[in-house]
Amino acid sequence: MPPRIAPHHIPGTPEHQLSSALDREVLYTPKQPWPDEAYVQWGNGIIPANPFFEAFVADTFLRGDADTIDAAEEKAFAKYQRFVGCEHVWSRTSRKRGTYTNGAGWCVKCDSFKSREFPPVVTLGSKRKPISKSELFLIEDVDPELDAIMDAKYPHEIARRRQDKRELTIRRRIFGISGNYF
Ligand SMILES: [Zn+2]
């Protein structure tokens, strides 16, 4: 079974129509033995040209960058093999990146990333405040076309983005807008 391929690479989907219209279509067939549940996408980058291959699998994100998409896929797959070959020990803290409170975990042995390893650390009351001007842009000046591009490109983030907008809309209704940008 092949991995699931991002819809913007599949002719006939609205995402593919958009990506062709934007001249972003890159014909490529993944070659590595990704597992069925892997979700993969690739591209050439724009400026600077930067062929990449990305896989979302097992709650982690693996990306390879190289001179060709082939080589980028090989790099991403090598990372995947390291990921499955490790008996992970998860921590909220990464030596390189500091401590994350959003639920992400980093393996202390192989430094792999996992998006939902821990419950997020929440500060009570932290959302009981007006939204900033920069947050206002996120809910008011939304360009539907850019929104569609983001949805096609990062499908695993659609739910989180919708949730963020809902929260901002509620905060604006209850607490208003502050004069600050951040
Ligand atoms: Zn590990």
pLDDT digits (tens, 9 = 90+) for 15-55: 787 777 766 677 899 999 999 989 999 988 766 678 999 99
Q: What is the pLDDT of residue 111?
A: 87
R_g over Cα of the chain: 19
Kindly state whether residues 62 and 12 are assigned to the same domain. yes
Among residues 62, 16, 13, 71, which one has the least CA distance to residue 44?
71
User: Above 90 in pLDDT, residue 79?
Assistant: yes
| Whether residue 166 sits in one domain with residue 153 | yes
Residue-level pLDDT at 182: 61
Residue 45 lies in a domain: yes
| 89 CA from centroid of ligand 1 (Å) | 6
Q: Are residues 56 and 17 in the same domain?
A: yes
**Which residues are near ligand 1, the ion (C-beta closer than 5 Å)?**
86, 88, 107, 109-110, 112
**Confidence band, pLDDT 50/70/90 cuts, at residue 150:** confident
CATH of the domain at 74: 3.30.160
Asked if residue 1 has pLDDT above 60, the reply is no
47 in any annotated domain: yes
Q: Tokens representing 101?
A: 């409170």
Taking the C-alpha atoms of residue 62 and residue 121, their distance in angstroms, rounded to an integer, is 25
- Who has greater pLDDT, 101 or 11? 101
Other CB atoms within a 10 A radius of the CB of residue 28 amount to: 20
Domain count of the chain? 3
Whether residues 81 and 98 share a domain: the answer is no
Mean predicted lDDT score pLDDT of the chain: 87
CA of 79 to the centre of ligand 1 (A): 11
First to last CA, the chain: 47
21 plus 39 within the same structural domain: yes
Residues 12 and 73 placed together within one structural domain of the fold: yes
| 105 shares a domain with 46 | no
Task: Give the residue numbers spanning the domain of 167.
Answer: 133-175
pLDDT of 86 reads 95
* Contacts of 59 by beta carbon, 8 Å cutoff, 6+ apart: 114, 115, 116, 117
Q: What is the pLDDT at residue 47?
A: 66
CA of 123 to the centre of ligand 1 (A): 29
